[in-house]
Structure 1
Amino acid sequence: MKVIIFEDNFLVQQSLCEVLQSDEQIKVCGTYENAKGIDRIYAEHSPDLVIMDIDMPEVNGLAGLSLLKQKNPDARVLMFTVFEENDKVLNAICLGANGYILKSSSGDKIIESVKDVINGGSPLTPAIASKILKHFPKNNVSSKDELLMLTSKEKEVLELLVKGYSYKKIAVELFKSVETIRTQIKTIYRKLNVKSNAEAIIKALARSE
């Protein structure tokens, strides 16, 4: 699993590298102090995941994310942030980030989140999803007809996504393989007309609005 890191604090950058490379499945291909030239860097490494700090000098994480997603909409990006309740986190998710992880998280949590995003997941707490919901026009999110198309098993999976469960935790909870859960979530995406867990969670939360 190839990862590139954008983080301006050298000590944090090196600490994150050490955490990630303690897992033999993860390789850090490059570290950068800001998002300048992110298109070229992404093309050079073709990473499975980009980990990006939000507040960086010159070209910050939000600007870098926007530039990257314009040319590489399928790029997987995990925001690396100090504060969860920051409007910048909301902006990042709205710009297409696949999730976020707090800098205070344990090494195991960081590795779990990295693998989760690479495997199609989206670390996104219900609290943040609820805040994001308020920023979206109602006609973009509240589609009860789409939700009615889900089977009872698919609704069960979606409910666990809303609770913030990773693919692995959903599989354990429902006594299924991770691959089965991944297949079900792809079907949920298609039925809800979304491209990420974040969007699926938002639509699920909109149901009760």
Structure 2
Amino acid sequence: MGKIRVMIVENDQSWMKVLSNCIGKENDMEVIEQISTKAGVLKDLCKEIDIVLMDVTLVENGDKVCGLEIASKLLHSGIQKIIFVTSLVEKEIILRSFDIGAANYVTKESYRDIPKVIREAYQDKICIRSDISTVLIDELRRERKVKVLSPAEREVYSLKEQGFNNRQISQKLYKSTETVKKQIRTIKSKIK
């Protein structure tokens, strides 16, 4: 069996070096490409790549470029396994990364686990890292609770989760503040 071929997409040169050195110590994998720009990633699609390690946020010409958008293009072009390696532990980004098809999501604090994560992804195993598992578990629990709500209650719940107060919710949904308060009491009783 040949080595696992890895592409690193990271514009922070110090992190590029850390990841490259980490992988370079392994006998069963090799870094075949290190890219720091969106254009570079999309240009090198013709290469034989098994795993892409990608940061969620890339900075290019002073602008932030979303690694999730690049990953989505890569996955549609035939690249099968992308592992996000990032310092961001934000619920929406983590959920979106798995939603587009990421093989895994690892924080840079856990960079020493990268070889293990690469092997798992290569073998089609998904072992969620402990530093993001609570985010996924919390979201799963929230989704289960929300299923018991009526559509109108879901609207109110969603706005409340986004930080709107009762008055703002009533204005947004064209309901009286009393109705919103009543719905919130009902929601709380349903999702204890």
- Shorter-chain TM-score: what band? 0.5 to 0.7
1:123 aligned to which of 104, 123, 127:
127
Counterpart contact for 1:98–1:123, Cα < 8 Å: no
Residue number in structure 1 paired with 2:169? none
Q: In the aligned structure 2, how far is the partner of 1:103 from the partner of 1:8?
A: 14
Change in Cα spacing, 1:105 to 1:46, as seen in structure 2 (3 Å) is same
Measure how far apart 1:127 and its partner are. 2.3
1:78 aligned to which of 83, 93, 97:
83
- Corresponding residue SS for 2:109: coil
Q: In the aligned structure 2, how far is the partner of 1:135 from the partner of 1:83?
A: 22
Q: In the aligned structure 2, how far is the partner of 1:5 from the partner of 1:106?
A: 13
- Corresponding residue SS for 2:7: strand
Measure how far apart 1:105 and its partner are. 1.1
Q: In the aligned structure 1, how far is the partner of 2:75 from the partner of 2:134?
A: 25
Measure how far apart 1:123 and its partner are. 3.4
Residue number in structure 2 paired with 1:66? 72
Measure how far apart 1:82 and its partner are. 0.7
Counterpart contact for 1:90–1:131, Cα < 8 Å: no
C-alpha deviations, 1:133-166, integer Å up to 9, x for none?
457997xxxxxxxxxxxxxxxxxxxxxxxxxxxx
Q: In the aligned structure 2, how far is the partner of 1:131 from the partner of 1:38?
A: 33
Q: In the aligned structure 1, how far is the partner of 2:89 from the partner of 2:103?
A: 15
2:52 aligned to which of 50, 53, 62:
50
Q: In the aligned structure 2, how far is the partner of 1:11 from the partner of 1:135?
A: 39
- TM-score for the superposition, normalised by structure 2: 0.62
- Segments of 5+ residues of structure 1 without an aligned counterpart are 139-209
Q: Does 1:16 align with 2:25?
A: no
Q: CA RMSD in A?
A: 2.4
1:6 aligned to which of 5, 9, 13:
9
Counterpart contact for 2:6–2:29, Cα < 8 Å: yes
Residue number in structure 1 paired with 2:117? 113
Counterpart contact for 2:91–2:135, Cα < 8 Å: no
Residue number in structure 2 paired with 1:29? 32
Runs of 4+ in 1 over 6 A off after TM superposition: 135-138
Counting aligned pairs with the same residue, the percent is 20
- Corresponding residue SS for 2:119: helix
Change in Cα spacing, 1:98 to 1:30, as seen in structure 2 (3 Å) is same
Measure how far apart 1:95 and its partner are. 0.9
Change in Cα spacing, 1:91 to 1:132, as seen in structure 2 (3 Å) is farther
Q: Which structure has greater strand proportion?
A: 2
Counterpart contact for 1:34–1:61, Cα < 8 Å: no
For the pair shown, which has the larger CA radius of gyration, 1 or 2? 2
Measure how far apart 1:39 and its partner are. 4.0
Aligned letter for 2:108?
A: K
